[in-house]
Chains A and B, each alone.
Chain A
Amino acid sequence: GDSVTQMEGPVTLSEEAFLTINCTYTATGYPSLFWYVQYPGEGLQLLLKATKADDKGSNKGFEATYRKETTSFHLEKGSVQVSDSAVYFCALSDRGYSTLTFGKGTMLLVSP
């Protein structure tokens, strides 16, 4: 079945450092891929998405490229801020009715 694997956290960075959070997936079809972010005590918010191979999703300085050949969708940001501290979830939608399969989440902690 479908699955999503993310790097384990927490990822701890200093402000203005470069961020990469790895995400790889297994799917039988051609899934859409998503990154969601969860700030402490809140629900999930869509950060970015990509619906086909080689698409690049971007939002708020974050980027991720849909790599079909490596089945990956790594999240990157050139310069993180303290306000980026949150849990980041990679997810895919492959089955019917847009149901999502999530990774376990990666906590990011950014210090001043």
Chain B
Amino acid sequence: NAGVTQTPKFRILKIGQSMTLQCTQDMNHNYMYWYRQDPGMGLKLIYYSVGAGITDKGEVPNGYNVSRSTTEDFPLRLELAAPSQTSVYFCASIPPGRNEQFFGPGTRLTVL
């Protein structure tokens, strides 16, 4: 996974709760991404960042927020959890000089 770490691995939330999914890489990657994976649906891009202080929406940003205050960290925030956000969340990054993404191990989130 080229050194992309995600925490937590699992989490159960109640409807309306908030939480932050953490993603960190210590290899000075500029490009970082958040995806969600739903069964039988592939991965959908939520947000991405091309460097510290720069973020942009992907295909399915509603209900999520991100920040990129440092190159290393790219946290994903859920403010008011909903059952539709039950999914597996993957963070990814691209090493300098490459064009392929390397993925973290994922966070499995259940909203009840």
Residues of chain A touching chain B, judged by Cβ–Cβ distance below 8 Å, are 4, 32, 34, 36, 42-46, 49, 51, 89, 93, 97-100, 102-105
Contact = CB atoms under 8 A, between A and B. Distances in A.
B62 interface: no
B42 interface: yes
A4 B1 CA distance: 24
B42 A44 contact: no
B42 A105 contact: yes
Interface string B21-62: 000000000010100000011111100101000001010000
A91 to B, nearest CB: 8
Residue among B31, B33, B45, B100 with the highest chain A CB neighbour number at 10 A = B100
A100 B43 contact: yes
Given A34-B100, A46-B101, A99-B58, 7 more contacts: A43-B90, A43-B104, A43-B106, A93-B99, A97-B56, A99-B45, A100-B45
Residue among B42, B56, B99 with the highest chain A CB neighbour number at 10 A = B42
A100 B105 CA distance: 18
Residue among A36, A49, A100 with the highest chain B CB neighbour number at 10 A = A100
6 smallest beta-carbon distances between A and B, as pairs: A102-B42, A43-B103, A44-B103, A104-B42, A102-B43, A43-B105
B48 A42 contact: no
Given A42-B105, A43-B105, A44-B103, A98 B94 contact: yes
A65 B105 CA distance: 28
B41 to A, nearest CB: 6
A97 B90 CA distance: 17
Contacts of B1: 43, 45
